[in-house]
């Protein structure tokens, strides 16, 4: 056990002692699953047989701080040695009428009932806190639905009747695909077919919650599996129908793979970070509508970047994605088709750097995306890597010289230009700045007061 774990363990012992043995305090859900898998376990959710009022009373009596974080769900946060623990009273869910939330939560049920309301068997295991030492005593795990055996078989399986469980809450079907991606698991066949039969319920879930799940799916270790499951189950057509035409869309000699396979590969190669993975998913979404075949049978995708941008924007608007994130993804999509080559002049490279800077897209982020996209084209990775490194080294070198990339970097500011011209400001100032910027991007040595005064004077005289 490392120091951090040791300190959590001590804090947990204090909480456990404060609540007394009959509290039946257990760790539940994701933490138990991840711990058994040897994955980095995230938040530790605790559950107890005590009612929230008892949890609060006993914790207070033992001198622990409490925060009533979610009393309507039976949750109290207890703080010990600086660690906060969310403790939820064993609960069952009342009827689900809207496909999203139970009408009521029933507190004071058994641990088994609490586990029975959970979505998947691998998420429906509990471990009494007194056994939370390492090595973990497997036989002490409370596992009424065969979660451990499904973990061993790499299966996501609904707890109970999948048709009923997906009818209660439409988010669970997207979560199933998300866990398949995060854990690299398959979805058990009956559970998978129930997803397809309950798409009408899934349609009732809020887009914000779906977007969170889709993002986790994309950032998982097996995003290809997750995306294929979305396509297979019909969830893809429900939430992201724009992606469907990519499936079966063949390409040209620059690509070894059709569009969808290339897209899956790009997602897989991209660093597991939300903007990069979403951009990987959407960068070629404009290809099917842009596809044309010439007289010689050559396949073209003229202007597909612009169409990808439009579709991405429309999709993100519908999914209510935040502005900052949307801009970051759009910038990656917009610049994915630019490939600076050795033939490019330094000034052409600087013009490209200016475009990235106008879109607030860091060069390194663009580089990460390009590498994934290049690898996913399916020809010699080693060669691609060398070529990419060469491109990046050159762009980095040029960027490090801090060339002026926007008007504010010019040696003469707007006011100085107005003074020089001896006339009122107006749209001409912006035009002149653009002209001067072009000149200094061509030749950065010209970014001096004297040179810019001369160039401005010439421009004003014409």
User: Which residue lies nearer to ligand ATP by CB, 167 or 290?
Assistant: 167
170 touching Mg ion, by CB under 5 A = no
Contact with ligand ATP (CB under 6 A): which of 4, 38, 42, 341? 42
**Which residue number is nearest to ligand ATP in terms of Cβ?**
30
What phi and psi, each to the nearest 5 degrees, are found at residue 39?
-90, 160
In the bound complex, what is the minimum distance in angstroms from residue 218's beta carbon to Mg ion? 18
119 touching ligand ATP, by CB under 6 A = yes
Q: Using CB under 5 A, which residues numbered 40 to 69 contact Mg ion?
A: 43
DSSP string, 326-361: HHHHHHHHHTTT----TTS-HHHHHHHHHHHHHTT-
30 touching Mg ion, by CB under 5 A = yes
User: Which residue lies nearer to ligand ATP by CB, 171 or 307?
Assistant: 171
Asked if 85 and 77 count as a contact pair (C-beta separation under 8 A), the reply is yes
Only segment of 116-124, 200-208, 223-231, 323-331 that touches ligand ATP (CB under 6 A): 116-124
The residue assigned the tokens 């970014």 is 447
Going by the DSSP 8-state scheme, the letter that residue 246 receives in this structure is: G
User: Which residue lies nearer to Mg ion by CB, 30 or 170?
Assistant: 30
Site string for ligand ATP, 43-82 (x = CB under 6 A): --x-------------------------------------
Contact with ligand ATP (CB under 6 A): which of 29, 52, 223, 268? 29
Using DSSP's 3-state secondary structure scheme, residue 299 falls into strand
Q: Using CB under 6 A, which residues numbered 138 to 177 contact ligand ATP?
A: 169, 171-172
- According to DSSP, the residues that pair with 299 across neighbouring strands are 293
In the bound complex, what is the minimum distance in angstroms from residue 46's beta carbon to Mg ion? 12
CA distance 42 to 44: 6
CA distance 344 to 348: 6
Asked if 418 and 424 count as a contact pair (C-beta separation under 8 A), the reply is yes
Asked if 94 and 106 count as a contact pair (C-beta separation under 8 A), the reply is yes
User: Which residue lies nearer to ligand ATP by CB, 75 or 123?
Assistant: 123
Q: Using CB under 5 A, which residues numbered 9 to 28 contact Mg ion?
A: none
CA distance 181 to 403: 43
Binding residues for Mg ion, rule: CB under 5 A, are 30, 43
Binding residues for ligand ATP, rule: CB under 6 A, are 29-30, 42, 45, 118-119, 123-124, 169, 171-172
């Amino acid at each position: 056990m490392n120091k951090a774990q040791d300190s959590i363990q001590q804090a947990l012992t204090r909480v456990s002692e404060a609540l007394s043995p009959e509290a039946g305090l257990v760790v539940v859900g994701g933490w138990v699953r991840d711990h058994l898998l040897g994955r980095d376990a995230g938040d530790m959710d605790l559950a107890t047989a005590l009612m929230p009022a008892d949890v609060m009373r006993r914790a207070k009596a033992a001198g622990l701080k409490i925060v009533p974080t979610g009393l309507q769900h039976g949750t109290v946060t207890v703080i010990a040695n600086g660690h906060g623990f969310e403790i939820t009273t064993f609960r069952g869910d009342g009827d689900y009428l809207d496909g999203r939330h139970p009408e009521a939560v029933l507190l004071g049920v058994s641990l088994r009932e609490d586990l029975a309301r959970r979505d998947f068997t691998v998420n429906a295991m509990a471990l009494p806190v007194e056994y939370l030492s390492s090595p973990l005593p497997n036989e002490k795990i409370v596992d009424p639905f065969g979660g451990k055996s499904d973990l061993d078989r790499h299966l996501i399986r609904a707890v109970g009747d999948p048709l009923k469980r997906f009818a209660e809450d439409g988010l669970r079907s997207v979560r199933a695909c998300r866990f398949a991606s995060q854990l690299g698991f398959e979805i058990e066949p009956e559970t998978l077919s129930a997803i397809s039969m309950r798409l009408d319920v899934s349609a009732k879930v809020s887009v914000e919650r779906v977007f969170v799940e889709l993002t986790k799916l994309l950032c998982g270790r097996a995003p290809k599996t997750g995306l294929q499951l979305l396509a297979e189950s019909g969830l893809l057509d429900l939430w992201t129908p724009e992606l469907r035409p990519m499936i079966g869309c063949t390409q040209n000699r620059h690509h070894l793979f059709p569009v969808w396979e290339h897209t899956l590969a790009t997602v897989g190669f991209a660093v597991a970070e939300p903007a990069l993975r979403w951009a990987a998913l959407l960068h070629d979404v404009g290809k099917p509508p842009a596809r044309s075949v010439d007289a010689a049978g050559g396949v073209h995708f003229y202007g597909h970047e612009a169409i990808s941008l439009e579709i991405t924007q429309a999709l993100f608007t519908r999914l209510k994605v935040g502005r900052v994130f949307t801009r970051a993804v759009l910038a990656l999509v917009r610049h994915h088709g630019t490939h600076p080559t050795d033939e490019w002049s330094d000034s052409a490279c600087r013009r490209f750097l200016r475009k990235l800077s106008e879109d607030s897209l860091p060069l390194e982020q663009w580089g990460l995306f390009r590498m994934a996209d290049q690898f996913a084209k399916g020809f010699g990775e080693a060669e691609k890597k060398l070529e990419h490194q060469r491109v990046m080294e050159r762009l980095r070198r040029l960027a490090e010289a801090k060339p002026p990339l926007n008007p504010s970097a010019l040696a003469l500011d707007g006011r100085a230009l107005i003074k020089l011209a001896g006339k009122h400001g107006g749209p001409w100032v912006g035009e002149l700045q653009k002209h001067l910027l072009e000149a200094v991007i061509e030749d950065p040595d010209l970014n001096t007061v004297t040179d810019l005064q001369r160039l401005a004077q010439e421009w004003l005289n014409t």
